Amino acid sequence: MRVIFKPNLFFMLVICFAIGCNAKKNNDSESNKKELSDFGKKVKQSVKNQLGSSNASFTILGDSVTLNYVDVVNSFYSKSGFVPIWVDADSLSPKAIEFVHFLDTSIYIGLFKNDYQFESLKKLSNLFQHKSENADALIFAKTDLLFTNAFMHVVKDLKQGRIVVDTISWKNIPAKQTTFFNPMMKQFLQSKNCNLFFSKIQPNWKPYSDLRNALHDFVNKMDTQQFTYLNYPYNKNVAVDSFFFIKQLCKRFSESKYILQDTLKSIDSAGLASIVSKYQQANHLVVDGKIGKQIIGHLNLTDKLKLNRILLSLDRYKLESDSLPDAFVWVNLPAFKLEAWENDSIRFLSKIVCGRPYTPTPLLKSNISEIVLYPTWTVPVSIIKKEILPGLKKNNNYLARKGLHLVDYNGNRVNPININWGGFLKGIPYKVRQSSGERNALGVMKFNFKNAFDVYLHDTNLRSLFKNNNRALSHGCVRVEYYDQLAKFVAQFDSSKYVVTDTLRYTNDSIVNWLAAKKRKRISVKNEMPLFINYITCEASNGEIVFHEDMYELDKKMIELYFNKM
């Protein structure tokens, strides 16, 4: 049986009443929108006026603030019609509040919140939490500008990092405004999760992700105490310098509870040596009771300094992240290692020997373009000046003892015994070479790549050096323990890129055969292997952060320049 529903008069009246109420509500809503629109126009005009004043600084809530990304900010508002995006008629938008919360914990992803005028943004966030009956369009405009400036600064630091000179900083490149900054703002406004949005901006490379993830626990556990920094070395021949250093050292030990405060003035040399030994033993250092570079470096490496080094390492990864291809060779000097990467996995790992602190290996990006089997070695001019010429002045037979020989610029051998070396001061009109073979300083294989420093990767005749913990021992070139695996990696990559019309000139098997036959060969790599030589002093391993020695003191210089925030 079908039931037919017949509305009665009462029900009809209820429906009419509801429709009337909704109509009134909609009219009220439209009225509110008009009021908001009127105020929004005032804010919009104030935004335009502020940007048109050509003054990147202003005062808001008693704080003097600067729009350090004023060109980027101006570009964004110009293209969006100067419409405010962070403020409503009487409050901050949910996105603005979410952004403030993100900044408050941004140290966990390697940012210093005060770089982005966090305290001013926090004040504004608190001010606008409640509705205001006397909304000030100028304050709203300045607030919107300040939030946009901070956002643009954050996305740049997460993507490009902070350790770049102004000439290549994206904030000073107009094209980046339309290709990076403005699209970033649009994506952020459309995003549902603030933290996820900022996470996606960062490098998606495992070494970076592992270090960033390990940073969270480090920050939670770090000791924020301010310790005395020890300047070392000091002039031991100057009594005042020696006295001041020992005084500072004792103070530093007292801060770590190795010396009691009331016995600080009574410590003698024997007592200090005992304390040094105790510290060395507790921190797994070589126990000799002596004050040297190792223990001073350990004392100076406080958690605050470690934090700066972690953040610096994250930024160094950012500099390379966009240029990493599917396959490449990555050399990390402070870790004394070479990694061969392919499809986001390490194919093999090798120890390396790199330049001494006074002959450092340069940081560079290039491509391995040639493999040389059984190379000869032409001694660089710098080594001739510093080592060869002084050696020849002492002994005319110096070259023979080193397995070297002298040639003129036509390639003819010259007998060094017949030359009066005392007359040469800055250099010699000859080349110094070493014949190929097992005794050659380059070993049996050399990898060439274009660079302005005349350095290369190579084997070595001193393979025992790979057993050392500190392997900063060369004149600047990089010695590779598993040079044969590197050759195989390069050869397989090269052959994988060949097309049907190419002539395959070599394979890894042919390299092995040529080496066995001790044949001298120069192999041109058609599909060159990308090479990165970098300086990363902090790496994550199994969730823990490993710190490598800042052997070239590059971290020290960069931290002083960019990261002295805490």
Q: Is the pLDDT of residue 485 over 90?
A: yes
Q: How far apart, in whole angstroms, are the C-alpha atoms of residue 213 and residue 208?
A: 9
Has residue 16 been placed in a domain?
no
% of the chain at pLDDT higher than 90? 68
Q: How far apart, in whole angstroms, are the C-alpha atoms of residue 281 and residue 275?
A: 10
User: Are 452 and 391 in the same domain?
Assistant: no
Give the per-residue pLDDT at 10: 36
Task: Give how many domains the chain has, as a whole number.
Answer: 4
Give the per-residue pLDDT at 555: 95
Q: What is the mean pLDDT of residues 58-83?
A: 93
Q: Is the pLDDT of residue 267 over 60?
A: yes
360: Cβ–Cβ under 8 A, 6 or more apart, which residues? 354, 476, 552
Give the per-residue pLDDT at 40: 82
Q: How far apart, in whole angstroms, are the C-alpha atoms of residue 303 and residue 218?
A: 9
Which of 250, 282, 301 is the endpoint of a domain?
301
Alpha-helical runs (H) found in 53-114: 70-80, 94-104
Q: How far apart, in whole angstroms, are the C-alpha atoms of residue 123 and residue 434?
A: 70
The DSSP bridge pattern shows strands 345-355 and 445-449 to be unpaired
Which of 281, 301, 321 is the endpoint of a domain?
301
Q: Is the pLDDT of residue 9 over 50?
A: no
Give per-residue pLDDT as tens, 307-318.
999 999 999 999
pLDDT band at 199 (very low <50, low <70, confident <90, very high): very high
Beta strands in 313-373 (DSSP E): 327-332, 337-342, 345-355, 364-373
Residue pair 455/478 in contact (Cβ under 8 Å)? The answer is yes
Give per-residue pLDDT as tens, 212-241.
999 999 999 999 999 999 998 888 888 888
Give the per-residue pLDDT at 400: 87
Q: What is the mean pLDDT of residues 364-378?
A: 96
Has residue 13 been placed in a domain?
no
User: Are 425 and 527 in the same domain?
Assistant: no
SS3 label, residue 114? helix
Give the per-residue pLDDT at 130: 61
The CATH number of residue 311's host domain is 2.40.440.10
User: Are 262 and 341 in the same domain?
Assistant: no
Q: How far apart, in whole angstroms, are the C-alpha atoms of residue 13 and residue 209?
A: 65
Give per-residue pLDDT as tens, 501-536.
777 789 999 999 999 999 999 999 999 999 999 999
Q: What is the mean pLDDT of residues 333-340?
A: 98
Has residue 50 been placed in a domain?
yes
User: Are 478 and 535 in the same domain?
Assistant: yes
Residue-wise over 229-250: b if at least 16 C-beta within 10 A, else e? ebebebeeeeeeeeeebeebbb
Per-residue tokens: 520: 């001298």
Give the per-residue pLDDT at 396: 84
The highest-confidence range among 182-186, 386-390, 497-501, by mean pLDDT, is: 182-186
User: Are 429 and 468 in the same domain?
Assistant: no
Q: How far apart, in whole angstroms, are the C-alpha atoms of residue 183 and residue 179?
A: 7
Give the per-residue pLDDT at 565: 52
The highest-confidence range among 10-24, 267-281, 420-434, 476-490, by mean pLDDT, is: 476-490
Per-residue tokens: 293: 């570079």
Task: Please return the burial class of 512, using the count of CB atoms within 10 Å of its CB with bins 0-12, 13-18 and 19+.
Answer: middle
Q: Would you say how long the chain is, in residues?
A: 566
Q: How far apart, in whole angstroms, are the C-alpha atoms of residue 484 and residue 323?
A: 26
Alpha-helical runs (H) found in 222-302: 239-255, 269-282, 293-300
Give the per-residue pLDDT at 549: 93
Residue pair 312/555 in contact (Cβ under 8 Å)? The answer is yes
Residue pair 341/347 in contact (Cβ under 8 Å)? The answer is yes
User: Are 194 and 61 in the same domain?
Assistant: yes
User: Are 331 and 393 in the same domain?
Assistant: no
DSSP symbol at 326: S
Of 362, 307, 336, 367, the C-alpha closest to 480 is: 336
Give per-residue pLDDT as tens, 146-176.
999 999 999 999 999 999 999 999 999 999 9
Greater confidence (1 vs 20) lies with 20
Has residue 508 been placed in a domain?
yes
Q: Is the pLDDT of residue 126 over 90?
A: no
Has residue 313 been placed in a domain?
yes
User: Are 414 and 534 in the same domain?
Assistant: no
User: Are 180 and 112 in the same domain?
Assistant: yes
Tell me: cis bond preceding 360? Omega within 30 of 0 counts: no
Give the per-residue pLDDT at 22: 45
Mean pLDDT, all residues of the chain? 89
User: Are 291 and 334 in the same domain?
Assistant: no
Give the per-residue pLDDT at 131: 55
Q: How far apart, in whole angstroms, are the C-alpha atoms of residue 306 and residue 538?
A: 9
Give the per-residue pLDDT at 424: 87
Which of 301, 325, 343 is the endpoint of a domain?
301
> What is the per-residue DSSP string for 89-102?
SSSB-HHHHHHHHH
Q: Is the pLDDT of residue 343 over 70?
A: yes
User: Are 152 and 55 in the same domain?
Assistant: yes
Residue pair 534/338 in contact (Cβ under 8 Å)? The answer is no
Q: What is the mean pLDDT of residues 21-26?
A: 43
Give the per-residue pLDDT at 433: 92
Residue 366 belongs to domain spanning: 204-222+305-373+446-566
Residue pair 141/39 in contact (Cβ under 8 Å)? The answer is no
pLDDT band at 539 (very low <50, low <70, confident <90, very high): very high
Give the per-residue pLDDT at 133: 55
Q: Is the pLDDT of residue 201 over 70?
A: yes
Q: How far apart, in whole angstroms, are the C-alpha atoms of residue 41 and residue 53?
A: 18
Residue pair 152/106 in contact (Cβ under 8 Å)? The answer is no
% of the chain at pLDDT higher than 70? 91
Give the per-residue pLDDT at 20: 45
Compute the radius of gyration of the chain from its Cα atoms.
33
The highest-confidence range among 259-268, 341-350, 424-433, by mean pLDDT, is: 341-350
Q: What is the mean pLDDT of residues 284-295?
A: 91
Q: How far apart, in whole angstroms, are the C-alpha atoms of residue 222 and residue 482?
A: 38
User: Are 256 and 217 in the same domain?
Assistant: no
Has residue 265 been placed in a domain?
yes
Has residue 25 been placed in a domain?
no
319: Cβ–Cβ under 8 A, 6 or more apart, which residues? 160, 161, 163, 164
HSE-up of residue 410 (Cα within 13 Å, Cβ side): 2
Q: Is the pLDDT of residue 564 over 80?
A: no
Has residue 12 been placed in a domain?
no
Q: Is the pLDDT of residue 31 over 50?
A: no
Q: How far apart, in whole angstroms, are the C-alpha atoms of residue 178 and residue 188?
A: 15
